[in-house]
Amino acid sequence: MRKLAITTTAVAAVALLALAGCSSRSADDSGSGDAKGFDKGSLIGVALPDKTSENWVLAGGLFKSAIEEAGFKADVQYAGQSTPVPDQQAQIASMSTKGAKVIIIGAKDGGQLGTQVKDAKAAGATVIAYDRILTDTKDIDYYVAFNNEKVGELQGQALLDGLKAKFPDKKSYNIELFSGDPGDANAPVFFQGAMKILQPKIDDGTLKVVSGQTDIKQTATKDWLAQNAQNRMDTILQGSYQSTELDGVLSPNDTLARAILTSVKSAGKPAIVVTGQDSEAASIPLIMSGEQYMTIYKDTRDLVKKAIEMTTQLSKGDKADTTTKTNNGSVDVPTFYLPPVVVTKDNAAEAYKNNPDLEKLTQQ
């Protein structure tokens, strides 16, 4: 009787899935990640995007040494700035040809590597998406990242907190919204995370986006380039803030936060509350002086270490440890999320205690 009930439920579930037109398949049902393992000395490929921010600059060197320390051979490549997508496609193809056992990818454009990861899988490599997920492909075995939605939520909440603290007498605030590069799968996730917190406050009138630009197509910053954010901020200040005060800006990372601050300063506007991400060395003094309200700490050393721990597990023929799954539009990808940490002037010294290079910047 009981067995029958379970069977009926299972049949109903399958029927429902079929009706919904979705598949219950997940990336690791394909048998990936539980292969025979591979020897020390094997080649591990790492394909990184162009060096848009300090975390990416750091990642290359960290990967090379972590891979070598773990006993493997490293092939670490960056995409160039002028043709990053084709660069990365060629680099991944070459890693597959050279017989890389694991290919770790920090995608410039996570939607444009489908052919390359398909070929990588066919050549016997395990594919790990690093920091940014690969979208709309089933040829992805694992994803390792800081929890991106959480990053956005922390930024949204911090913007609200910062506005209340800086302008205790105001009941409502004028803000503007920025997001990252449209090719980066993280950009919409950061933005949606932040909007989860900010949208209800826009709806109830606490926040006003004076430019009216709230759609991610309008807020995007092509290639995560500082100059693009600065130009957009200049234009918005010109068009919407001639006789209105700007109180705060949602910026998705530190590089763009500094560009936004430069724009606000050169327009002769008073100080604002601006968010950030990445704990870049150039932003930490600005956080200590109060010019940039907050950042997020995502220790690149931890993320690289985790990716190489996964690689070592795979080399032993084991599955890599994961904590959750992330749907990439095609499959549920086994995922390991690390927790992002929100940093303001108040906790900076404490937050960077394990990182002397950053900690010393909090003391100047």
Taking the complex as a whole, the smallest distance from the CB of residue 282 to ligand GAL amounts, in Å, to 14
The residue (of 251 and 344) whose beta carbon lies closer to ligand GAL is: 251
The residue among 87 and 184 lying less far from ligand GAL, judged by its C-beta, is 184
Sheet holding 248-250, edge to edge: 207-209, 173-177, 248-250, 273-274
Q: Is 221 in the site for ligand GAL (CB under 6 A)?
A: no
- Taking residues 163 to 192 in sequence order and writing x for each that binds ligand GAL by CB under 6 A, - otherwise, the string is -----------------x---x-x------
Closer residue to ligand GAL, CB minimum distance, 106 or 248: 106
Task: With contacts defined by CB under 6 A, name the span among 14-22, 53-61, 264-272, 301-309 that binds ligand GAL.
Answer: 53-61
Token pair in block for residue 307? 């990716």
Tokens of 172: 């409502």
Q: Which of 32, 52, 221, 344 binds ligand GAL (CB under 6 A)?
A: 52
Which CB atom, from 53 or from 230, has the smaller least distance to ligand GAL?
53
Q: Which of residues 311-350 bind ligand GAL (CB under 6 A)?
A: none
Amino acid letter, 250: L
Beta strands 73-78; 332-338: pairing state: unpaired
The Cα 193–Cα 212 span in angstroms is 19
Residue 358: name the closest of 258, 290, 282 by CA.
282
Query: Which 77-96 residues touch ligand GAL, going by CB under 6 A?
Result: none
Q: How far apart, in whole angstroms, are the C-alpha atoms of residue 73 and residue 68?
A: 6
Of the candidate residues 53, 155, 275, 326, the single one contacting ligand GAL (CB under 6 A)? 53
| The one among 121, 132, 138, 306 contacting ligand GAL by CB under 6 A | 132
Q: What one-letter code names the amino acid at 247?
A: D
Return all residues near 303 (Cβ < 8 A) that are at least 6 apart. Answer: 59, 130, 131, 144, 145, 146, 338
CA dihedral 229→230→232→237, nearest 10 degrees, is: 140
Q: Rule CB under 6 A: which of 247-286 touch ligand GAL?
A: 253, 277-278
Q: Would you say 145 or 286 has its CB closer to ligand GAL?
A: 145
Q: Are 126 and 314 in contact (CB under 8 A)?
A: yes
Residues interacting with ligand GAL, by CB under 6 A? 52-53, 55-56, 131-132, 180, 184, 186, 224, 253, 277-278, 298
